[in-house]
């Protein structure tokens, strides 16, 4: 475990093992703890596994302004973490918002990414959301409103409890998000970056096609995201694309089907 400074913020980072670096990027409402079943498998197979709590999450520093969570700042965080650990290139694995961030890092800093694994979230802006995607992602619209925290906490946090119900880390989420600051920091990722654009002149940077060999993973029982966006991502990868649909998994691939996920990671990264 190390506390390091990157992009003028303090980050909590755990390192395990030696060898080629693998950087694991979590989403919301997770922290680096969501990778706890992948770290031993990767480290035991000869990788240096780097797991940060990302900006505003877990034990890392939590800036207050929404604009502090813009995609360009998040990418700079990742580059800063790699620099602080003297890692020139890494395999990058991301889930949920961590996948969106992983796409952006591979696009904007291709010299730092060896192989890319993206879970649940396709290339940002790959397709226009269809009706099914809008139905699944209704909560993202709610998160953009300044009243979202009050709504989520009302009626004994009924809506918040509904959103995380059945997740493997449900109790962890509810405990962590009792802290309003932690919830607001998580929602800031949405507020600073949605809707995602990939066109020049948009608030978010124009993302170039990804040159790294890329593995896309999606759970067959995914409740929140559309598989169509992941499938369409192949058009934005020039370095080789592989896709796997994981049976028996929903959104929490790491904890719902850890053995299958570890098998796929080791096969692809090797």
Q: Residues of the chain with pLDDT > 70: what percent?
A: 94
Is pTM, for the whole model, over 0.75?
A: yes
Per-residue pLDDT at 203: 45
- Give the tokens for residue 22: 């693998």
Residues contacting 17, CB < 8 A, separation 6+: 42, 43, 44, 46, 47, 48, 49
- Indicate if the pLDDT at residue 129 is higher than 80: no
Domain 2-269, second-level architecture: 3-Layer(aba) Sandwich (3.40)
Question: Which ranges constitute the DSSP H helices of the chain?
Answer: 39-44, 71-84, 97-108, 131-136, 138-143, 148-164, 170-176, 180-193, 227-232, 253-256, 258-269
Q: What is the pLDDT of residues 138-192, one digit of tens each?
A: 899 999 999 999 999 999 999 999 999 999 999 999 999 999 999 999 999 999 9
DSSP code for 92: E
Task: Give the Cα separation of 82 and 25 in Å (integer).
Answer: 12
- 2 falls in which pLDDT band (50, 70, 90)? confident
For 211-236, what is each residue's pLDDT tens digit?
999 999 999 999 999 899 999 999 99
CB 176 within 8 A of CB 182: yes
Segment 49-66 shows an average pLDDT of 98
């Amino acid at each position: 475990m190390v506390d390091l400074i990157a992009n003028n913020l303090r980050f909590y980072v755990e390192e395990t093992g030696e060898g080629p670096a693998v950087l694991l990027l979590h989403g919301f409402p997770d922290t680096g703890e969501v990778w706890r079943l992948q770290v031993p498998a990767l480290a035991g197979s000869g990788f240096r596994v780097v797991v940060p709590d990302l900006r505003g999450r877990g034990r890392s520093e939590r800036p207050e302004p929404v604009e502090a969570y813009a995609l360009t700042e998040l990418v700079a965080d990742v580059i800063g973490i790699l620099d602080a650990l003297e890692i020139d290139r890494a395999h990058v694995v991301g889930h949920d918002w961590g996948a969106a961030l992983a796409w952006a890092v591979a696009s904007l800093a291709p010299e730092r990414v060896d192989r890319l694994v993206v879970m649940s979230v396709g290339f940002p802006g790959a397709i226009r959301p269809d009706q099914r995607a809008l139905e699944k992602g209704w909560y993202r619209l709610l998160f953009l409103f300044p009243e979202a925290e009050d709504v989520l906490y009302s009626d004994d946090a009924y809506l918040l409890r509904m959103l995380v119900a059945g997740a493997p880390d449900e109790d962890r989420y509810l405990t962590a998000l009792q802290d309003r600051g932690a919830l607001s920091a998580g929602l800031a990722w949405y507020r600073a970056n949605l809707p995602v654009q990939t066109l020049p002149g948009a608030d978010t940077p124009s993302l170039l096609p990804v040159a790294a060999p890329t593995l896309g993973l999606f759970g067959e029982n995914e409740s929140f995201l559309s598989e169509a966006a992941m499938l369409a991502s192949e058009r934005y990868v020039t370095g080789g694309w592989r896709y796997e649909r994981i049976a028996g998994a929903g959104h929490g691939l790491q904890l719902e089907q850890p053995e299958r996920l570890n098998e796929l990671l080791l096969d692809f990264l090797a």
